[in-house]
Chain A
Amino acid sequence: MNQLRILWTFFRLGAMNELAYRVNFFTQLFQAVMSLVLSLGGLAVVFNQTDTLAGWRPAELVALVGIYILVGGLINLMIQPSMQRFMEDIRMGTLDFMILKPADAQFLVSVRQVEIWKLIDIIMGLGVLVIALVRLGAQIGMAQALAFGVALLAGATIVYSFWMMLATCAFWFVKTENILVIFQSMYQAGRWPITIYPGWLQMMLTFLVPIAFAVTVPAQALTGRLTNQTLLLAILVATGLFGAARWFWRFGIRYYAGASA
């Protein structure tokens, strides 16, 4: 429960921090709108030439874009800024302050930096998603909604664990920011269903940089394309990676403290 209070405090700090620079709100809003224009404009151009893309109808791809923006917002709200801060803390030596606190240090470093305006992306992503669902005729049953929720949670967990493990590498290698650039570069491939990509790229986007689980799988769940096997795989990968990230963090901290050296 104390973890919730800590989380809430970080959110409040993030909010107060950002409220001081209100111009950032408009910057972020503008950026979100432009990103939306880019995504939907791309869809409009493509569907100007065809009715379905690899079996996905326009409204279904709009739903995918909604999830793409939503998940991107989740990542940029807390995961990415916290992980960047974490690696910076290792480099500057200020990670010590986190480790000295009487709370779970992995939790602290994971939630410590909140960029509150990214909520705009989350709200906008949800908005796009809802509009798409209405246009789809919204034949979404409880089972599908539940599968979507589970898939989204699994996707978010996978992305978090993935970043956590990469960031933990900073204990050994000083320059790891570049790994984050790889993720950001590859994330844009998630605008489209990964099933359109050639096999090797699908594998990369699934297991090397887990964009498939983060965006495509939830979208599949919502549009009735998800098999039980895929959902189960997502859950297993999420659980496994989360555990692995935890273990790796412990290992990293022990190395940092010189206990395993």
Chain B
Amino acid sequence: MADPVILLDNLSKTYLVPERDAGVMAAARSLVQRRHRAIKAVDQVSFRVEPGEVVGFLGPNGAGKTTTLKMLSGLLHPTSGTGRVLAYEPWQRQRDFLKVITLVMGQRNQLNWDIPASDSFELNRVIYRVPPAQYQQTLEELVELLELGPLINKPVRNLSLGERMKCEIAAALLHRPQVLFLDEPTIGLDVTAQRRIREFIREYNRRHNATILLTSHYMADVEALCKRIVVIHHGRILFDGPLAELVKRFSPHKTIAVELEHPIESNQYADFGEVVTQDDGRLMLRVPKADTAKVAGRLLAQLPVSDLTIEDPPIEEVIEQVFAQEVES
């Protein structure tokens, strides 16, 4: 196996947040004596990402995702632990390192609002010192893949949110980074625009074998792009592995969908399991994983079943459960 592209070992980040009571007196007091509260945003996180991998980085708001991404891209200095991205220590912020990574933040823009995106692209070309020939080639490729043709010569403020995000992504990729940190790249976009960007990311990864670490609130993004996910909560890693494995491990239930030959009374199926939905002739039941086979057998034997399928619950539900378990424990 090749060397990992990203390697984190016991990485931690603690913020010291000044605590202050309201009021003028308290403000004056805090000038002299400041009280701080330590908040562990990231707590001994370790994982590695291999070349060309697309990894989904999941967690609720405030779980430490963005802090981790910021440390990996060199914006934040960790409190302890080590980290390597392509053999660089990110927070040294060496120029050579900055030239091979990129960070896309769905909620922030780097493009200048008042001028066309192509002008901002030009600025990035100069700053990243991209050779003209390579720049031209990359730009053409990005224009083609993201369908930017009619967009890049319009002032950015005239673009829709989805169009702007496509331009933001293009601006972030002009220097052909090998490592992409994508923080909520599809946030706030409509379903079509989300799909476009998702397809682009997949295609980009395939063409350039780029390594991608992606956070998203949309499970569709994760399901479509990431074979592997890392789940973080309260700064700690809860899970690291294939998506399917997550479902297997964390969902104690399966869903059984039953197609009936004719409608039946509710008291005839109520005791098979938790009824999720039911309308004439269709029935969805949630049952404990261990009992799945037994319940399916009883259903087939006792009810007029025309079709029966056993499914994993939707991924959102599983993730919710993961976070809920953490809270209980």
Residues in chain A within 8 A of chain B (CB atoms): 2, 5-6, 9-10, 13, 16-17, 20, 92-94, 96-97, 99-103, 108, 254, 257-259, 261
Contacts and interface: CB of A to CB of B under 8 A. Distances in A.
B245 interface: no
Nearest to B79: A258
Given A9-B122, A102-B95, A257 B115 contact: no
B108 A94 contact: yes
Contacts of B13: 258
A16 B96 CA distance: 31
A85 to B, nearest CB: 10
B114 A93 contact: no
Contacts of A93: 105, 108
A2 B103 contact: no
A108 B127 contact: yes
Interface residues of B, number: 37
Contacts of A259: 77, 91
B283 interface: no
A17 B115 contact: yes
22 contacts: A5-B126, A6-B126, A6-B127, A9-B122, A9-B126, A13-B119, A17-B114, A93-B108, A94-B108, A94-B109, A94-B110, A96-B108, A97-B110, A102-B98, A103-B127, A108-B127, A254-B77, A257-B74, A258-B78, A258-B79, A259-B77, A261-B15
Interface string B67-105: 000100111111100000000000101011011011101
B95 A257 contact: no
Contacts of B27: none
B112 interface: yes
B73 to A, nearest CB: 6
Contacts of A5: 126
Contacts of A102: 95-96, 98-99, 127-129
Interface of B: 13, 15-16, 70, 73-79, 91, 93, 95-96, 98-99, 101-103, 105, 108-110, 112, 114-115, 119-120, 122-124, 126-129, 155
A100 B115 contact: no
Please provide the 3 A-B residue pairs with the shortest distance between their CB atoms, ordered closest to farther.
A259-B77, A97-B110, A102-B95
A250 to B, nearest CB: 12
B75 A257 contact: yes
A261 B301 CA distance: 67
A96 B75 contact: yes
A37 B105 CA distance: 48
A13 B115 contact: yes
Contact of A16 (B101, B119, B124): B119
A5 B91 CA distance: 27
Contacts of A108: 127
A261 B16 contact: yes
Contacts of B70: 96
Contacts of A101: 98, 124, 127-128
Nearest to B96: A102
B122 A99 contact: no
Given A92-B108, A257-B76, 11 more contacts: A2-B126, A6-B123, A9-B126, A13-B119, A17-B119, A93-B105, A99-B93, A100-B74, A100-B103, A101-B124, A259-B77
